[in-house]
Structure 1
């Protein structure tokens, strides 16, 4: 993760409820670039779809090792996976099917590269096995390279899948005007304080437990109870 501004998405009043047709019957896969992005950007989506038995799983793109100095090593990777598991249990109320793709943090692969294409095939197979209908992923124009790479990967999975897949983007860093014709989706509100409690599981990102390194700005810790996602249709 890197520096940015809290997400601001206009159009809340015209957003379609995730409980409306056809969205209420879809099974979702969430792709998070790093552990903690699932809580910041899609926590309410995870909570709602898990409660409704429509959450197929969470895929983490990177190992999260770039948040602290290289000396943190393998221990940081293990810590961030453990933190993610706890955050997901708090959001979903139960263990969640989780896939760690283990790309190196801040070193994204691109279409045509062996790693990118292998990862795409792996997610296509997962979507088929878990009967995924929709993928939630960070927005294509987010400023962090891993967030943009996650979006490229999601669209590549959609294009390679035999199943019809919808892509819904969520915003973690920054703000961006919505493309004309976008369909906005709004989740149901999650219980007050639940997202903050889930975020507290990511101790390495919000405190000094791992020593010098990244710390989530305090502005990002004031989070809404709903998520807004959008589909562009392209």
Structure 2
């Protein structure tokens, strides 16, 4: 089944509700790995706000430095852009109810070049092992079929962390750009749709009560909304169609095929 049809089936058939129990169990913690500053809000903002409301132990780790969104800006060179995007992420998680001093961390890997192996990958993995809440724990990571190299690399990192942490740890995947296989995002280039085996498994979290907080969190990422950088007209701006997908009533969390 092609990815678009598979996602439509997931959006239609997966169990859904407002409870975190199908995702975290009765007392489990949440660790969200965000490929870039903003993915935590776009893909998991409702989940994070719900975790806060239910007083679940929660942590967000941003994998890349986000410095590559406006590569031709002279006013915002990479180091300055990375600092800005960290500041935006701190504001965003506050909107979701988190304490950025305690519940937000940055690995600082290079945007558009997050490694899937090597010394930097190993160092990032070791840091995650130290940061991760104790089991029972659910790791939330980018969907393996998200069509972005940093999202794919973040998934590889999450899978390695799952193997390191061992029993009592679960992995779930959230699509961001992969949703474009099922819902067109004008101007967004897609690779050929992957063919997925088996029916989708996972859960649809009802986030209607958290949508206000999620919208405020996404709005905090001003550089990605075209509100900051003025000297790179070809730089990244979140498309309205992607924002519309992010602000739907449910967030989708998918079980790995080998779970």
Q: TM-score, normalised by structure 2?
A: 0.79
Matched residue, 1:19: 20
CA distance change for structure 1 residues 132 and 205 in 2, over 3 Å: closer, same or farther? farther
The answer to which of 115-124 and 182-191 deviates more is 182-191
Matched residue, 1:196: 215
Which of 71, 76, 80 is the matching residue for 2:81? 76
Which of 21, 27, 30 is the matching residue for 1:28? 30
How many Å separate the matches in 2 of 1:179 and 1:57? Answer: 32
Matched residue, 1:134: 138
**Equivalent pair of 2:173/2:253 in contact (CA under 8 Å):** yes
How many Å separate the matches in 2 of 1:182 and 1:231? Answer: 8
**Equivalent pair of 2:32/2:139 in contact (CA under 8 Å):** yes
**Equivalent pair of 2:50/2:210 in contact (CA under 8 Å):** no
Matched residue, 1:226: 250
The alpha carbon displacement at 1:24 in A equals: 3.9
How many Å separate the matches in 2 of 1:82 and 1:20? Answer: 32
The answer to which of 46-55 and 33-42 deviates more is 46-55
Quick check: 1:169 aligned with 2:212?
no
**Equivalent pair of 1:29/1:132 in contact (CA under 8 Å):** no
Correspondence 1:1-234 to 2 at 5 A:
9-12=8-11, 13-17=13-17, 18-20=19-21, 23-69=25-71, 71=74, 72-73=76-77, 74-92=79-97, 94-95=99-100, 97-111=103-117, 113-127=118-132, 129-131=133-135, 133-175=137-179, 179-189=197-207, 190-211=209-230, 212=232, 213-222=235-244, 223-232=247-256, 234=258
Aligned-residue CA RMSD (Å): 2.3
The superposition leaves residues 194-225 of structure 1 with CA deviations (integer Å, 9 ceiling, x where unpaired) of 32221110000002412221111111222113
The superposition leaves residues 43-66 of structure 1 with CA deviations (integer Å, 9 ceiling, x where unpaired) of 111111122122431000000000
How many Å separate the matches in 2 of 1:91 and 1:47? Answer: 5
How many Å separate the matches in 2 of 1:163 and 1:92? Answer: 29
- Looking at CA atoms only, which structure, 1 or 2, has the larger radius of gyration? 2
How many Å separate the matches in 1 of 2:200 and 2:56? Answer: 23
Unaligned stretches of 5+ in structure 1? Answer: none
Q: TM-score, normalised by structure 1?
A: 0.86
